[in-house]
Amino acid sequence: MKNQIKKYVLLSYLALIVSMYITGCSTEEVSEVPPNIIFIFTDDHASHAVSAYGSDIIQTPNIDRLANEGVIFHNAFVTNSICAPSRGVLLTGKHSHINGQLTNAQEFDGTQMTYPQVLQQSGYQTAMIGKWHLQSDPTGYDHWEILPGQGHYYNPEFITPEGTNHYEGYVTDIITDKVIDWIENNRESEQPFMVNYHHKAPHRNWKPAPEHLGMFDDIDIPEPETLFANWSGELDDGQDHEDFPPGEWAGRTSAVQTQEMTLMNHFDEAWDLKFPPDSVQDARHANLWSNRYERLTDEQREQWDAYYDAYYEEYKDKNLQGRDRLSWIYQRYIKDYLSTIVSVDNNLGRLLDYLEETGLAENTIVVYTSDQGFYLGDHGWYDKRWMYEESLHIPLVMRWPAGIEAGTQSRELVQNLDFAPTLIDLAGEPVPEDVQGRSLVPLMKDQTPDDWRSSIYYHYYEYPGEHAVPRHYGVRTDRYKLIHYYQVGEWELFDLEADRGEMQSVYDDPDYEEVKQELKEELDRLREKYNVPEEDPI
Ligand code: SGN
Ligand code: CA
């Protein structure tokens, strides 16, 4: 049956190509031939670490190249800012409560409709290479090679249907090699291809490639405005302060006090700062440290020792306290994080060059995005999960010379919910009716439908869980954001125009009464539209 469908699709393409040849075709008509699709998904790459989005802390020339030669979406968001749920949404185009992947702890039900299955049935060759993180085996792929769980930066293993293979080298390079190899082996075929090119980077614990260790050492990376916003601990006077400085703290949910994701208090010296064994203070650290170290070759280990030990010495010598200590930790954190992105961007450059050289570039759509955003010291944090901008927002750029005009920009509210329908639409297939997202194809062509959404729905479920972020749901419009922390019975309302950093909720401000009521109605409408159950399914 599948082969018959493939044959039919191939014959249709051939007929289309022949008819274009006879009638003399324009570039627009060429784009009617379903494009090859390379879907690049990084893990935790915040858009404020992409220069196309105006980042002042890193240059990402190859991601920018996609943006300049294609489309950049300025308002792209997730529905649930955590890894496996985001992947469930990508595959299905449905919210977490519908696709069943509410948290990282569950196993994905791969028997439900996913877009790779639709593409495979429509005649695409499909592959999934890199981080998968959904526990069940991938479905809808002709080829898959996935990292076990979170995977490893150095000398990683890949699981395949035939068994597990081990490789020496750096994961971002290896994933790219595999993607290019797979395309190369298939490019003579008449079927279009779709590959999920899914990186581990820049996920915690941010291990740079050996050649990038120290690449930011000579500069001070600018600190985010809100680095000290959730300040707790020792202030410059050397005294412990349990409270927060007034003004910086007022008007936020009580849950920000109990989260566990501050650079100040929750960053792990062994795991995150890569301090050496003699700094290890308890068994958990020792365990983390040895697990990590065992993977390195002797040469890699020497490079690591030379690099990180010097920082440990500096840390001890300086004996930093209070804000100075936090500033120091921030520099260590952000430099490792950014270094892993340099590798992602370089490898993207390698892939783009390959597409040019092989003539594949014209009718291949390359999508670059991430499973969620991330805190880069914003609010004093690392990690994600909250509905605040830094982790809600994702980078989203696409290049497709045959189908997207260079320099296109979209400011519409889009979500990862829209990926599956977009990719199905690109393949020329009808989008199943129960899909909750919408195709972005008209937006790519700068033709926004009149009834495009004016608000988005968000829902995070992983509590209790790592980093202690409570469950919450909310609505965001182009200007406002209303969040309900339903476990603790609290609300927040932010006016993003007046308070981009979301430091002061105006939920109780009488001036915002009308806005608040409108947003509550909108929230109810969205919960009904998306069939959100009253009680959480878990
Ligand atoms: C790991 C990290 C967490 C992170 C989760 C989820 N801890 O557990 O900091 O929030 O992954 O990330 S670590 O000690 O293992 O680094 S996700 O992107 O996979 O959802
Ligand atoms: Ca992630």
Residue 403: the pLDDT is 97
Q: What is the mean pLDDT of residues 489-500?
A: 96
Tell me which residues have their CB closer than 6 angstroms to ligand 1.
Answer: 43-44, 82-83, 104, 133, 150, 203-205, 271, 383, 466-467
Residue nearest to atom 19 of ligand 1 (CA): 83
Q: Are 151 and 167 in contact (CB under 8 A)?
A: no
Q: Are 340 and 207 in contact (CB under 8 A)?
A: yes
Q: Are 174 and 156 in contact (CB under 8 A)?
A: yes
The mean-pLDDT minimum among 206-210, 249-253, 317-321, 472-476 falls in 249-253
Residue 137: the pLDDT is 98
**DSSP code at position 416:** G
Which of 79, 135, 203, 391 has the most ligand 1 atoms within 8 A of CB, as the residue to mutate? Answer: 203
Give the C-alpha separation, 247 to 456, whole Å: 30
Could you identify the atom of ligand 1 that is nearest to the CA of residue 382? 9
> Ligand 2 mean position to 341 CA, how many Å?
14
Q: Which domains does the chain have, with CATH numbers?
A: 2-206+340-445 (3.40.720.10), 459-529 (3.30.1120)
Residue 294: the pLDDT is 77
Give the C-alpha separation, 493 to 476, whole Å: 10
Q: Are strands 71-73 and 396-399 parallel, antiparallel or unpaired?
A: antiparallel
* pTM of the shown model: 0.93
The mean-pLDDT minimum among 4-18, 211-225, 247-261, 307-321 falls in 4-18
For residue 212, CA distances in Å to 276, 344, 374 come to 20, 12, 21
> Ligand 1 mean position to 19 CA, how many Å?
52
Give the C-alpha separation, 128 to 135, whole Å: 14
Could you identify the atom of ligand 1 that is nearest to the CA of residue 133? 19
Banded pLDDT at 323 (limits 50, 70, 90) = confident
Of 88, 78, 52, 72, whose CA–CA distance to 389 is shortest? 78
Which of 96, 131, 204 has the most ligand 1 atoms within 8 A of CB, as the residue to mutate? Answer: 204
254 or 294, greater pLDDT: 254
Give the C-alpha separation, 528 to 525, whole Å: 5
287: left (phi over 0), alpha (psi -120 to 50) or beta: alpha
Cβ-based burial of 437 (10 A; exposed 0-12, middle 13-18, buried ≥19): buried
Of 126, 141, 176, whose CA–CA distance to 156 is shortest? 176
Q: Are 183 and 37 in contact (CB under 8 A)?
A: no
Give the C-alpha separation, 68 to 264, whole Å: 38
Q: Are 439 and 115 in contact (CB under 8 A)?
A: no
Q: Are 328 and 320 in contact (CB under 8 A)?
A: yes
- pLDDT tens digit string along 120-141? 999 999 999 999 999 999 999 9
Give the C-alpha separation, 12 to 8, whole Å: 6
Judged against a pLDDT cut of 50, whether residue 218 lies above it is answered with yes
Residue nearest to atom 20 of ligand 1 (CA): 83
**What phi and psi, each to the nearest 5 degrees, are found at residue 322?**
55, -135
Banded pLDDT at 11 (limits 50, 70, 90) = very low
Q: Are strands 143-147 and 490-495 parallel, antiparallel or unpaired?
A: unpaired
List CB contacts of 21: < 8 A, sequence separation 6 or more.
none
Judged against a pLDDT cut of 70, whether residue 503 lies above it is answered with yes
Banded pLDDT at 237 (limits 50, 70, 90) = low
Instruction: Report every protein residue that has its C-beta within 5 angstroms of ion ligand 2.
Output: 43-44, 83, 371
Give the C-alpha separation, 83 to 446, whole Å: 30
Could you identify the atom of ligand 1 that is nearest to the CA of residue 44? 18
Residue nearest to atom 8 of ligand 1 (CA): 466
Give the C-alpha separation, 218 to 12, whole Å: 57
Following CA atoms 524, 527, 530, 532 in sequence, which dihedral angle do they give, to the nearest 10 degrees? Answer: -150
Q: What kind and span of H or E run contains 173?
A: helix 171-186
- pLDDT tens digit string along 437-494? 999 999 999 999 999 999 999 999 999 999 999 999 999 999 999 999 999 999 999 9
> Mean pLDDT for the chain?
90
Q: Quote the percentage of the chain above a pLDDT of 90.
A: 80
Banded pLDDT at 244 (limits 50, 70, 90) = very low
488 or 59, greater pLDDT: 59
**DSSP code at position 170:** B
User: Best-predicted range by mean pLDDT among 10-19, 265-274, 295-304, 389-398?
Assistant: 389-398
> Ligand 1 mean position to 208 CA, how many Å?
17
Cβ-based burial of 479 (10 A; exposed 0-12, middle 13-18, buried ≥19): exposed
Give the C-alpha separation, 282 to 279, whole Å: 9
Q: What is the mean pLDDT of residues 320-333?
A: 93
Of 142, 131, 224, whose CA–CA distance to 500 is shortest? 224
Q: What is the mean pLDDT of residues 504-529?
A: 97
> Ligand 1 mean position to 308 CA, how many Å?
22
Quick check: helix, strand or coil at residue 495? Answer: strand
The mean-pLDDT minimum among 33-47, 292-306, 375-389 falls in 292-306
Give the C-alpha separation, 104 to 305, whole Å: 33
The mean-pLDDT minimum among 65-69, 257-261, 421-425, 475-479 falls in 257-261
Of 233, 502, 486, whose CA–CA distance to 390 is shortest? 502
Which of 43, 44, 104, 461 has the most ligand 1 atoms within 8 A of CB, as the residue to mutate? Answer: 104
203 or 28, greater pLDDT: 203
Q: Quote the percentage of the chain above a pLDDT of 70.
A: 87
> Ligand 1 mean position to 466 CA, how many Å?
8
Residue nearest to atom 2 of ligand 1 (CA): 204
Judged against a pLDDT cut of 80, whether residue 238 lies above it is answered with no
Judged against a pLDDT cut of 50, whether residue 12 lies above it is answered with no
Token output for 198: 């899914």
Q: Are strands 36-42 and 143-147 parallel, antiparallel or unpaired?
A: unpaired
Residue nearest to atom 10 of ligand 1 (CA): 383
Q: What is the mean pLDDT of residues 14-35?
A: 50
> Ligand 2 mean position to 371 CA, how many Å?
5
Could you identify the atom of ligand 1 that is nearest to the CA of residue 261? 9
**DSSP code at position 231:** -
